[in-house]
């Protein structure tokens, strides 16, 4: 394996970078595990549904700002250094959150944590897409979603264990533990190579070729795959420099506006599935299903988190074989089905309900064990459907459809759209559960139907193509639903041509 074995292995780099996604997962569970506990409710004076929504949504507000910052930072200081900056900001936010003495201080800590999550959630998929070969790009970027699910699961079990502590440590320990992944991410990223595409764009061609050779061919700069891909990168950069000066304005003009719109709406749709809301407020959802008691609720929730981790694996393994379009379409159709069933079951078998010390849960199923189990089963199936589809693809697709000249800025807008909707939903769902109750699920189900139609009509298939070939794909007049039948990548033919030329030269010698 030699000196190139670890820190030039795409799986190692792509996998380790996803600790940035794990930060997001940690944050989700850092709230979902405590919002229904007596210690948290008592210490923060039984926050109203609006205040609870504000506490949870404050992280998304910070993430919105962080995602927008990550665009220019990724271009200016590099993808690698932006990840390092995110890890340092995360450490600061976690310390403040752990030390919070009131809701205001908790919100400040969560906003700072959010900035870190926004930076990491935007720049990590870009870094992954730029180091990965086209054959496994979807798999590598999908690791981001898997890391999120692991962060949710690990932190949730930390919360579960700490829930038995009869002091404020019940929520301070889980919030303080969040410092650890931040430290690990910072230390590991020190060993990362820069993105070869970023280096080439900075006129550091020799370094770019060296990194690409290390990633693709154990350092062999003359390998046909390295030569062909490097030439493609250089040609794309040369073309970019014939265009006007780079600015945010060009993102909204032809020929890029369509792709920017697709990336932003895909990330927005991923929130409108209701998945992150289900993660944040899973305690309230299961209370609505009739599960009462801290132990029963935490155990039922933990099953959902385990399923989230396990069911992301098929997408990681097969996304580059199945393609992006079918995964999105099938996923959204099934999510709509489960959400309609949850809303229907709770509407038919539920009734007005009030839980002491909880202003959010005002409708629940009571006395009907079969209906309660059916709602929980549909909730689990909803999570599985998301984990196998929109979870990984919503990070993969925006990171691969833009040209290098606008990639960082465009992905920052896509990710910021994700966090904007995350903020709105995290803030609005507790009041929605309080006032319109089970009808909330119908709203998300309707969104899943709408996104199915949108993907079918507007989203081309991107699997098997290099980042540089997206220009040709999106500038063609071929309808999105016919793009799966397009010819294979040009890069494969270029590699074979270069390999043949080298063979001819060696034979002449």
Sign of CA dihedral 324, 122, 405, 262: positive
> Residue 364 to residues 276, 279, 346, 381: CA-CA distances in angstroms?
21, 19, 7, 20
Question: Distance between CA atoms of 30 and 34, rounded to whole angstroms?
Answer: 7
Contacts of 30 (CB under 8 A, 6+ apart): 97, 155, 159, 174, 175, 178
Note whether 259 and 11 are within 8 A (CB): no
DSSP-assigned states of every residue in 380-405? HHHHHHHHTTHHHHHHHHHHHSS-HH
List the domain boundaries for the chain: 2-196+256-485
| Spatial contact of 127 and 16, defined as CB atoms under 8 Å apart | no
| 363 phi/psi in degrees, rounded to 5 | -145, 130
Q: Tell me if 405 sits within 8 A of 197, measured CB to CB.
A: no
Q: What is the pLDDT of residue 153?
A: 87
Alpha-carbon dihedral sign for residues 261, 264, 267, 270: negative
Label residue 261 exposed, middle or buried (CB < 10 Å: 0-12, 13-18, 19+): middle
Q: How many CB atoms neighbour CB 493 within 10 A?
A: 12
In this predicted structure, what is the pLDDT of residue 508? 61
What local confidence, expressed as pLDDT, does residue 63 receive?
92
Residue 323: left (phi > 0), alpha (psi -120 to 50), or beta? Answer: left
**91: nearest Cα among 176, 200, 215, 206:** 176
pLDDT per residue as tens, the chain (509 positions): 444 466 789 999 999 998 888 888 887 777 766 776 778 888 888 888 778 778 888 988 999 999 999 999 999 999 999 999 999 999 999 999 999 999 999 999 999 999 999 999 999 999 999 999 999 999 999 999 899 889 888 988 888 788 788 888 888 998 999 999 999 999 999 999 999 999 999 999 999 999 999 999 999 999 999 999 999 999 999 988 877 656 788 888 888 899 999 999 999 999 999 887 676 666 667 776 666 666 556 677 778 889 999 999 999 999 999 999 999 999 999 999 999 998 899 888 877 777 665 666 677 777 788 888 888 888 899 999 999 999 999 999 999 999 998 999 999 999 999 999 988 887 787 788 778 888 888 999 999 999 999 999 999 999 989 998 998 899 888 899 988 777 767 888 888 888 887 776 666 65
| DSSP E strand boundaries for 324-462 | 350-352, 363-365
CA distances 37 to 83, 174, 287, 357, 358, Å, are 34, 13, 12, 10, 10
pLDDT at 1: 40
DSSP 456-482: HHH----TT--GGGHHHHHHS---GGG
Q: What is the C-alpha to C-alpha distance for residues 486 and 470, in angstroms, rounded to an integer?
A: 12
Cα torsion angle, 281, 286, 292, 293, sign: negative
- H or E element: which one contains 222? none
Q: Are 320 and 136 in contact (CB under 8 A)?
A: yes
Architecture of 2-196+256-485 per CATH?
Up-down Bundle (1.20)
SS3 at position 328? helix
Distances in Å between the alpha carbon of 497 and those of 189, 472, 493? Answer: 37, 21, 6
How many angstroms separate the CA atoms of 376 and 427, rounded? 24
> What pLDDT does residue 326 have?
95
């Amino acid at each position: 394996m030699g000196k190139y074995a670890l820190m030039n292995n795409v799986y190692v780099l792509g996998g380790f970078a996803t600790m940035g996604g794990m930060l997001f997962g940690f944050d989700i569970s850092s709230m979902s595990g405590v919002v229904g506990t007596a210690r948290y409710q008592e210490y923060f004076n039984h926050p109203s549904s609006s205040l609870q929504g504000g506490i949870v949504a404050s992280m998304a507000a910070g993430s919105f700002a962080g995602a927008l910052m990550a665009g220019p930072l990724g271009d200016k200081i590099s993808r690698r250094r932006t990840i390092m900056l995110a890890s340092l900001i995360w450490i600061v936010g976690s310390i403040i959150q752990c030390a919070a003495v009131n809701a205001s201080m908790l919100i400040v800590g969560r906003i700072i944590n959010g900035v870190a999550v926004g930076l990491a959630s935007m720049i990590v998929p870009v870094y992954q897409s730029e180091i990965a070969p086209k054959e496994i790009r979807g798999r590598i970027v999908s690791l981001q979603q898997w890391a999120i699910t692991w962060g949710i699961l690990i932190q949730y079990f930390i919360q579960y264990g700490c829930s038995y502590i009869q002091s404020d440590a019940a929520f301070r320990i889980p919030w303080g533990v969040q410092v650890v992944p931040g430290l690990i991410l910072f230390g590991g990223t020190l060993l990362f190579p820069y993105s070869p595409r970023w280096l080439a764009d900075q006129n550091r061609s020799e370094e770019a070729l060296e990194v690409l050779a290390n990633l693709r061919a154990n350092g062999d700069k003359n390998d046909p795959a390295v030569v062909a891909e490097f030439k493609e990168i250089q040609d794309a950069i040369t073309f970019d420099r014939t265009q006007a000066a780079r600015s945010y304005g060009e993102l909204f003009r032809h020929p890029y506006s369509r792709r920017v719109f697709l990336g932003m709406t895909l990330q927005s749709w991923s929130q409108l599935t209701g998945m992150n809301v289900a993660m944040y407020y899973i305690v309230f959802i299961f209370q609505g299903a009739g599960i009462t008691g801290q132990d029963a609720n935490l155990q039922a929730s933990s099953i959902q988190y385990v399923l989230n981790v396990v069911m992301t694996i098929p997408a990681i393994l097969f996304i580059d074989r199945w393609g992006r379009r079918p995964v999105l379409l099938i996923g959204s159709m099934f999510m709509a089905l489960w959400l309609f069933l949850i809303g229907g079951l709770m509407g038919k078998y539920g009734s007005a309900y009030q839980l002491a010390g909880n202003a959010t849960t005002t409708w629940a199923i009571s006395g009907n064990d079969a209906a309660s189990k059916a709602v929980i089963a549909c909730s689990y199936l909803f999570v599985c459907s998301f984990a196998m589809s929109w979870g990984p693809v919503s990070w993969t697709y925006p990171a691969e459809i833009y040209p290098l000249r606008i990639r960082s800025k465009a992905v920052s807008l896509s990710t910021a759209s994700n966090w904007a909707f995350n903020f709105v939903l995290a803030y609005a769902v507790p009041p929605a559960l309080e006032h319109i109750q089970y009808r909330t699920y119908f709203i998300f189900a309707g969104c899943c139907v709408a996104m199915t139609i949108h993907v079918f009509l507007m989203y081309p298939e991107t699997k098997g193509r290099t980042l540089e070939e997206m220009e040709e794909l999106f500038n063609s007049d071929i309808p999105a639903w016919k793009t799966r039948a397009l010819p294979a990548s040009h890069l494969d033919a270029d590699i074979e041509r270069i390999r043949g030329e080298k063979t001819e030269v060696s034979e002449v010698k």
